[in-house]
Structure 1
Amino acid sequence: MVTIIGNVKPEDDYTHPLGPEENFNESVYFNFFDREKQMGGFIRMGNRANEGHAEMTVIVYQSDGSALFNYKRPQISHNDGWDAGGLKVEVLVPGEKIRTTFVGSVVYLADPREMREPSVAFKENPHKKVRLDLVHEGVGPIYGHVAEPGGAGSQNDFARAHYEQHMKVTGTLQVEDGPVLEITGHGLRDHSWGPRYWQSTPSYRWITGNFGDDIGMVLSVVGGRVGGVFHRGPDELIRITEAELDTSYEGDTNYHQGLTAKIKLENGESHTIVGKVTGFIPLRNRRSGMFTHIGEGMTEYTLDGQRKGYGLSEYLDQAE
């Protein structure tokens, strides 16, 4: 049985009753990184049934620096599952094992930074058919919180309920009629539900990584608030209590290319994480005249100068 820290239940892996809020969103997110093939990516599906659509994102970073990408808003009318736009999420064992599949078209980006102008990037780059089939199995505990009605966090406009879990990942990727590539690696999954606008938080840094089955980490910096955890094995979760994060950027851009995080854990341990972004794509979200930049970086980490790991560093900022 999976260890759960917080008031989450295994059956929370399924969708929840659709709330009354116009911006009610129930999203699932899975990232995955194969260290041997130096490739990875993530998929995300957010159901916004009260707005009549879902938000679907697929990214695959390739070893040569290119990326396969698609974003759609397929029409939906209910919140009974995640199955739209070619992306499907199946709960195989609640709390422990999930299958994600995507069959559809993506844009091939030799330079993923072209996505700073999405309409141009989609028009001027080739499109390819892909088949992605992954199984995600928990290697760490589930940790998170579900806000009770009227309780603390019940007015949160970014996600009133949220949990995460480090995973091992196996599966296949096929691009066009090319070879079927075996994927073996690690990643992290995230599930949240409740009202959400990407514009409701000024900025955040969300840094996730795995160093094997036995160690994974998440560091979050939201404004001046620091959070996050280390997991050790399937049961142990150690909270991050302090963090100093230093980030380097490409030239005069807000595209992050490297980071150093000096952290302290609740058990008194101190660690240094150095990250090098090996694949980067700039994404954006627009609503009501506001512009949100979301930089997505496939990142190679070194823990305390010794152990290598892989994951995703996500930097969100609101434009002036």
Structure 2
Amino acid sequence: MRIVNMGEWPLSEEDEQLHEPGDDPLWNESYYLDFVTDDGELGGYVRIGLYPNWKRTWFWARLVRRDGGLVEITDHEAPPTGLTLSGDAYEADLTTSDPLRTVRLRLAAPGLSLDLEWHTRGGVYGYQLTPRYEVPCEVTGTVDGRPFQGHGERDHSWGVRDWWTISWTWSSGRLSDGTHLHGTQVNLGMPLPWPAFTVPPGGEIEHAGGFTAGTRFDGDRPAETLLSFPGRAVTVRPVAFAPVTLVSPEGAVATFPRAMCALESDDGATGFGWTEWHQPPGWREHGWHPLL
């Protein structure tokens, strides 16, 4: 397993566990896990976001189907007690069975039952400017008691997370030729060394320098994004949206369109994954890169 660490902070197996909180009210520790079948018929994601100084945990779970089916759980008042959560209508537990290699998520709720494992494929990618890492994965287990086989990505980050000041585009997926890919672009209106990687079929993770993303919107809703990797361009189109609305301690509102997406590479490969276009207040003035 290869570790690509772009940052100055060390990345180790111990980072799979919870970290000592900072003092900022918006210091957050976040675990994200998404999944999708290879044919794009079914997908979902779960996020556990602990705000210990705000005295709460945000818990999100979404299951979507290509035919428009959506099951959603949103709890923004869960206690910040760790990675085992219990709400009015759900119980969830995230465990690490093999650090940086395998994690397991179990969720029991009316209309939604998950027992899934994320198995690392190709390596682990550490971010440059913030303590965060992304992991391309094969995903196996059960969804609502039925066998599940697919792919996805998980990430883990810790530090100040202010959802109401900065917008971004984030995307990950797997193509039919076996390539995993990921790219993040913070929308500041200027080129920077954005976090991005690819994993060739059966190979190891590699940083993708020069990554950019441009998006075309239909009103406020994303309609199409072009991910530009070195030597490869991938078009992303939403298949099923599973959004979240986020309210700050002061009452500011951000919208978070996240969608299971179809991917099409300029060399003919296709695939599926997840993409998010974060929209804080005034997001259109944040330097979004338009798709012309």
* TM-score bucket (shorter structure): 0.7 to 0.9
Which residue matches 1:93?
98
SS in 2 for 1:11: helix
Which residue matches 1:316?
278
Structure 1: which 5+ runs fail to align? 106-128, 147-152, 154-159, 175-179, 265-269
Write the deviation string for residues 6-41 of structure 1: whole angstroms up to 9, x where unpaired: 231012111112333322211100110002361101
Please give the residue correspondences for 1:35-50 in structure 2 after superposition, counting only pairs within 5 Å. Answer: 35-36=38-39, 38-50=41-53
Q: Could you say what the CA RMSD is over the residues aligned between the two structures, in angstroms?
A: 2.1
Which residue matches 1:51?
54
- Partners of 2:176 and 2:136 lie apart in 1 by 10
Length, aligned pairs only: 269
Displacement of 1:247 after TM fit? 2.6
Larger gyration radius, structure 1 or structure 2: 1
SS in 1 for 2:210: strand
Would you say 1:263 and 2:229 are equivalent positions?
yes
- Partners of 1:234 and 1:135 lie apart in 2 by 21
CA contact (8 A) 1:297 1:314 kept: yes
Distance 1:34 1:316, change over 3 A: same
Which residue matches 2:113?
131
TM-score of the superposition, structure 1-length normalised?
0.78
Give 4+ residue runs of structure 1 displaced > 6 Å after superposition: none
Write the deviation string for residues 88-146 of structure 1: whole angstroms up to 9, x where unpaired: 101010110000111114xxxxxxxxxxxxxxxxxxxxxxx321110110002111148
The code of the aligned residue for 1:220 comes to T
Would you say 1:168 and 2:138 are equivalent positions?
yes
- Partners of 1:26 and 1:65 lie apart in 2 by 31
The percent identity for this pair of structures is 22
Distance 1:135 1:21, change over 3 A: same
Distance 1:104 1:255, change over 3 A: same
CA contact (8 A) 1:187 1:209 kept: yes
- Partners of 2:186 and 2:18 lie apart in 1 by 27
Structure 2: which 5+ runs fail to align? 283-292
Displacement of 1:45 after TM fit? 0.2
TM-score of the superposition, structure 2-length normalised?
0.85
Would you say 1:83 and 2:85 are equivalent positions?
yes
Which residue matches 2:240?
279
Distance 1:197 1:56, change over 3 A: same
Distance 1:183 1:31, change over 3 A: same
CA contact (8 A) 1:54 1:84 kept: no
The code of the aligned residue for 1:219 comes to G
* Larger displacement relative to structure 2 (211-220 or 279-288): 211-220
Displacement of 1:262 after TM fit? 3.2
Write the deviation string for residues 227-270 of structure 1: whole angstroms up to 9, x where unpaired: 41112245231323143x443333xx211122223332xxxxx1
Please give the residue correspondences for 1:1-320 in structure 2 after superposition, counting only pairs within 5 Å. Answer: 2-6=1-5, 7-36=10-39, 38-79=41-82, 81-85=83-87, 86-105=91-110, 129-145=111-127, 153=129, 160-174=130-144, 180-201=145-166, 203-211=167-175, 214-223=178-187, 224=190, 225=192, 226-232=194-200, 233-243=202-212, 245-250=213-218, 253-264=219-230, 270-287=231-248, 288-320=250-282
- Partners of 1:17 and 1:212 lie apart in 2 by 40
Which is richer in helix?
A: 1
